[in-house]
Amino acid sequence: NAGVTQTPKFRILKIGQSMTLQCTQDMNHNYMYWYRQDPGMGLKLIYYSVGAGITDKGEVPNGYNVSRSTTEDFPLRLELAAPSQTSVYFCASDGDVSNEKLFFGSGTQLSVL
Amino acid sequence: KQEVTQIPAALSVPEGENLVLNCSFTDSAIYNLQWFRQDPGKGLTSLLLIQSSQREQTSGRLNASLDKSSGRSTLYIAASQPGDSATYLCAVDSGGYQKVTFGTGTKLQVIP
């Protein structure tokens, strides 16, 4: 059971480039989330999804886009990367609104130079 | 807006000591509270989840308590080991799909 898998683990982008962070889970969870973690700050929610075809903005969505074509996959797209998007990105999932533990991927460390 | 605070930001203890990590939150209307462990360069692993109707949860050497009325939770680690060295984060679920507010964590170092 792989849980939540994120790729890549590390990436360096130049300002203005685009990329997609991949996230897949094999637990048949309906709920999936993208967070970013900055030094000294708590995790901030970027986007979330409550099921295939349904996504919505979190606390810090600007500069990002998501899609959810299947239950398993929830990619995060960065368009026109900016230095402010340098961060560690985590994908997470759970199976219920309020009663289950969150499962996290191992993270993607992104630097925009 | 829910705010979650963890103090201290860092803690260093000798091996074998019992220790308590603190988490406070501003809005007592919560569904649950989770304690996570994060190792350097890794994702978060959920250690314990306490439902709003519960007072505590235990797993091995870990015990988490919840006092909603005072907006506090503690994570008790018994007989600490060097392998317990990590950052511990608490997260409060206030309901709704925006759901979880994370604290900034306490970085624990257990010295052999």
Interface test with A, best of B44, B57, B62 (most A CBs within 10 A): B44
Q: Quote the strand ranges of B7-61, DSSP E.
A: 10-14, 19-25, 32-38, 44-51, 56-59
Residues in chain A within 8 Å Cβ distance of B43: 4, 6, 90, 104-107
The contacts of residue B18 (CB under 8 Å, 6+ apart) are B76, B77, B78, B79, B80
Under DSSP, the state recorded for B54 is -
Q: What is the tens place of the pLDDT at every residue in A87-112?
A: 999 999 987 655 678 899 999 999 99
Q: Is the pLDDT of residue A2 over 90?
A: no
**How much is the average pLDDT of B4-27?**
96
Name the percent of chain B lying above pLDDT 90.
85
Residues in chain B within 8 Å Cβ distance of A56: 97
**Higher pLDDT among residues B52 and A40, named by residue:** B52
Q: What is the tens place of the pLDDT at every residue in A37-90?
A: 998 888 999 999 999 999 999 999 999 999 999 999 999 999 899 999 999 999
CA atoms within 13 A of residue B88's CA, in its CB half-sphere: 29
